[in-house]
Chains A and B, each alone.
Chain A
């Protein structure tokens, strides 16, 4: 029996590797996307365009402006002199933040009146606005602390000392790049499997496979093994690039990474083969692949946290294999996740893989009418 299965595995593998277009699709886009997405997918702000509208004649206003323009996050685009200049600048996105210091700023400070600095921010990207708010608050707080120190005021009775674990500088790249391991392996496994049975059905070669002495389980192995191998090789490549190129620390155990990656790939392969054997045409298979891929990515916690979702949608994410793998892969990279926590997220993956692979096998036989 095994030589036959092996022959099928080799045939399936060659079907992918021998076609130059398929080979191209599986190698070039993932490499390009890894590099581009690794840099593109960031919530960290860099060169935020800021404009200053300083009506204050005193030194304190200038000192506050200097603190903003001295921060590496901000790059100055304009100095304004009239109120009317603010709106066009923000409207056309020439500036994301306008720092407005009123005429009485220095005077208020000297007479110990609260001096106000007005910060106008473009809210079209609410996340950028929120992070900007945090950055600007930090700058204003530092200004306050130093001003009180030099002018003999009393410091606030308590102040925050913030530390961040697992990612001391809160770089979102450390969060996103391990996520890309999950994202790209998901796409690759789906691309390899979701059309394979549908194409053979459309071309009629699947019926030929069914009349061979091969059992449905053997066909499953023949279809799943090449996809698993391709996924493991590309996954390894992405992890290596994440560590060596993007310099994301990997603190966990490599063995666990491969166990988790294999189970994740098997779960996705199961979904891909189920889609492929459920549909009649390749067009429907593509539709099915998208209907799985898009929610699987968006509702996985890749970019937006699952805890922010309403309870009903959160419950839906329990069915999503990517959700579990993301927790594991990020935990292994940044936290050196211990075995008991890994297993906690691993068994649902194994369960999903088992159910979808069994379903696909059953559908090989029973779809024919």
Chain B
């Protein structure tokens, strides 16, 4: 017994400082890993949350209006009005309701029962052969301006279809002088799901990153275990790495799950490569986790850390990232504010890699910005994690 003790101690002394550090780090990471895995809430954040949110929102969020209820007022039914009504009935965009008078149609519009009114006046059939043609009155509910505009576009489309049919029936050429031929690149069917689901992955990853880490350091301070860690030889960097690695691995697991759902369930095409997708995801996750750790380190208080996380993560990512509102349409000053939102860069990469492919002129600058933000958040967290009591 007494002879083995000196041997052991010399053995320990022979270990280099680097090896000791590695051992220490491995031990701490293992402890954090076990803690993260044993906590049902971190598992559910990393795996159940993306599953639940992507499923719900992938189906729930859509900008494609289908079967829009619309009131069709025909004051004097003729064969012309019948053919016009038929072109609305055939369109997948409309669920037309025939209404006899403008008054009840307007009441339905006010109550929100229909999204728009189309009125064919009593003299419609007579006036269509006048030089200036007959007016078709269209009223849309402008409360939801975007839907109002989309409905107007659909009415325009139905009207064009009717004109072509009318021309063919009557043997008159009604083709306008200039015809616009559309080509929508990267999303030929203009499916809003192809646009929204990649952005949704960024929103969900933002939540995962913030939720996983926003409270972890604050919790150590509040429970007093931070003091316990201080008396260990663990350095501040090692402490942060130990906090970061398990949540990084959990977050990447959640990311893989989300990508698999986007492709398998929502049939979003992936034109670019997985490698680019996961490279950008890793950088984004480091930034998101870094932001969470910084919130947690600065506040040292779970209550405040939680409040800050709720306010500063989800809503900015939702509104300022380009997930649904186009950053290019925002006023310049707001565009500058969006530069501070990590999700903005990730959304740009995701939308491009999914729909357009590996476009390096989009991927490289955005990834660099993500790397910069990750360095900023983690660097500041490292700076503020001092091993002393105040």
Q: Is A212 an interface residue (CB 8 A)?
A: no
Q: Is B274 an interface residue (CB 8 A)?
A: no
CB distance A125 to B326 under 8 Å? yes
CB distance A294 to B62 under 8 Å? no
Encode A272-299 as 1/0 by CB contact (under 8 A) with B. Answer: 0000000000111111011101110111
Shortest Cβ gap from B190 to chain A (Å): 5
Residues from chain B with a CB closer than 8 A to the CB of A153 are 177
Question: In chain A, residues 80-135, which have Cβ atoms closer than 8 Å to a Cβ of chain B?
Answer: 88, 90-93, 96, 109, 112, 114-131, 133-134
Assuming the contacts A45-B329, A147-B178, A284-B41, asked whether A167 and B148 have C-beta atoms less than 8 A apart, the reply is yes
Residues from chain B with a CB closer than 8 A to the CB of A174 are 142-143, 145
Question: In chain B, residues 111-163, which have Cβ atoms closer than 8 Å to a Cβ of chain A?
Answer: 111-112, 115, 124, 127-129, 131-150, 152-153, 155-156, 159, 163
Q: How far is the CA of A269 from the CA of B211 in the complex (A)?
A: 21
Q: Is B100 an interface residue (CB 8 A)?
A: no
Question: Contacting A122 at CB < 8 Å: which of B138, B186, B319?
Answer: B186
Q: Is B351 an interface residue (CB 8 A)?
A: yes
Residues from chain B with a CB closer than 8 A to the CB of A287 are 41, 44-45, 211
Residues from chain B with a CB closer than 8 A to the CB of A134 are 149-150, 152-153, 156
Residues from chain B with a CB closer than 8 A to the CB of A164 are 139-142, 148, 152
Question: Contacting B135 at CB < 8 Å: which of A158, A170, A284, A293?
Answer: A158
CB distance A157 to B174 under 8 Å? yes
Residues from chain A with a CB closer than 8 A to the CB of B214 are 286
Q: How far is the CA of A194 from the CA of B139 in the complex (A)?
A: 44
Shortest Cβ gap from B112 to chain A (Å): 8
Assuming the contacts A37-B319, A116-B179, asked whether A156 and B362 have C-beta atoms less than 8 A apart, the reply is no
Residues from chain A with a CB closer than 8 A to the CB of B159 are 158, 160
Question: Contacting A156 at CB < 8 Å: which of B61, B148, B163?
Answer: B163
Closest to B152 in A: A162
Question: Contacting A305 at CB < 8 Å: which of B65, B149, B184?
Answer: B65
Q: Is A49 an interface residue (CB 8 A)?
A: yes
CB distance A160 to B156 under 8 Å? yes
Question: Contacting B109 at CB < 8 Å: which of A141, A147, A165, A170?
Answer: A165
Q: Is B312 an interface residue (CB 8 A)?
A: yes
Shortest Cβ gap from B186 to chain A (Å): 5
Residues from chain B with a CB closer than 8 A to the CB of A299 are 56-57, 60
Shortest Cβ gap from A172 to chain B (Å): 4
Q: How far is the CA of A199 from the CA of B183 in the complex (A)?
A: 56
Q: How far is the CA of A46 from the CA of B327 in the complex (A)?
A: 10
Shortest Cβ gap from B132 to chain A (Å): 6
Q: Is A303 an interface residue (CB 8 A)?
A: yes
Shortest Cβ gap from A201 to chain B (Å): 12
Encode A139-160 as 1/0 by CB contact (under 8 A) with B. Answer: 0110110011001011111111
CB distance A183 to B219 under 8 Å? no
Majority-rule SS of A interface residues: helix
Total count of chain B residues near the partner, CB < 8 A: 115
Q: Which of B19-27, B239-247, B302-310, B374-382 is found at the contact surface with chain A?
A: B302-310
CB distance B132 to A295 under 8 Å? no
Question: In chain B, residues 285-326, which have Cβ atoms closer than 8 Å to a Cβ of chain A?
Answer: 299, 301-304, 306-312, 314-316, 318-320, 322, 324-326
CB distance A39 to B139 under 8 Å? no
Q: How far is the CA of A109 from the CA of B176 in the complex (A)?
A: 10
CB distance A161 to B111 under 8 Å? no
CB distance A187 to B310 under 8 Å? yes
Residues from chain B with a CB closer than 8 A to the CB of A136 are 180
Q: Is A41 an interface residue (CB 8 A)?
A: yes
Q: Is B265 an interface residue (CB 8 A)?
A: no
Q: Which of B10-18, B230-238, B275-283, B331-339 is found at the contact surface with chain A?
A: B331-339
CB distance A286 to B215 under 8 Å? yes
Residues from chain B with a CB closer than 8 A to the CB of A313 are 56, 59-60
Shortest Cβ gap from A114 to chain B (Å): 5
CB distance A21 to B306 under 8 Å? no
Encode B174-211 as 1/0 by CB contact (under 8 A) with A. Answer: 11111111111111101110110000000000010001
Q: Is B166 an interface residue (CB 8 A)?
A: yes
Encode A58-81 as 1/0 by CB contact (under 8 A) with B. Answer: 000000100000000000000000
Q: Is B361 an interface residue (CB 8 A)?
A: yes
Total count of chain A residues near the partner, CB < 8 A: 117
CB distance A157 to B166 under 8 Å? yes
Residues from chain B with a CB closer than 8 A to the CB of A364 are none
Q: Is A25 an interface residue (CB 8 A)?
A: yes
Closest to A139 in B: B180
Q: Is A36 an interface residue (CB 8 A)?
A: yes
Residues from chain A with a CB closer than 8 A to the CB of B134 are 157-159
Q: How far is the CA of A114 from the CA of B141 in the complex (A)?
A: 34
Residues from chain B with a CB closer than 8 A to the CB of A187 are 310-311, 315
Q: Which of B112, B195, B310 has the most CB of A within 10 A?
A: B310
Q: Which of A131, A168, A287, A331 has the most CB of B within 10 A?
A: A287
CB distance B180 to A199 under 8 Å? no
Residues from chain B with a CB closer than 8 A to the CB of A170 are 142, 145, 148-149
Question: Contacting A309 at CB < 8 Å: which of B60, B131, B152, B351?
Answer: B60
Q: Which of B1-9, B70-78, B248-256, B352-360 is found at the contact surface with chain A?
A: B352-360
CB distance B331 to A283 under 8 Å? no
Residues from chain B with a CB closer than 8 A to the CB of A49 are 328
Q: How far is the CA of A127 from the CA of B322 in the complex (A)?
A: 11
Assuming the contacts A128-B326, A158-B124, A167-B148, asked whether A121 and B362 have C-beta atoms less than 8 A apart, the reply is no
Assuming the contacts A127-B146, A187-B310, asked whether A117 and B156 have C-beta atoms less than 8 A apart, the reply is no
A positions within 8 Å CB-CB of B: 19, 21-22, 25, 29, 33, 36-37, 39-49, 64, 88, 90-93, 96, 109, 112, 114-131, 133-134, 136-137, 140-141, 143-144, 147-148, 151, 153-168, 170-172, 174-175, 183, 187, 190-191, 194-195, 199, 202, 282-287, 289-291, 293-295, 297-299, 303-305, 307-310, 312-313, 316, 327, 330-331, 334-335, 341
A-B contact pairs, 5 of them (CB 8 A): A40-B334, A116-B180, A157-B128, A175-B144, A305-B144
Among all A-B residue pairs, the 6 with the closest Cβ atoms:
A167-B142, A123-B187, A164-B142, A92-B361, A157-B128, A123-B184
Additional pairs, 11, CB under 8 Å, beyond known A40-B320, A298-B57, A303-B61: A19-B304, A44-B329, A125-B351, A128-B329, A129-B187, A137-B156, A199-B302, A294-B53, A307-B68, A308-B63, A309-B59
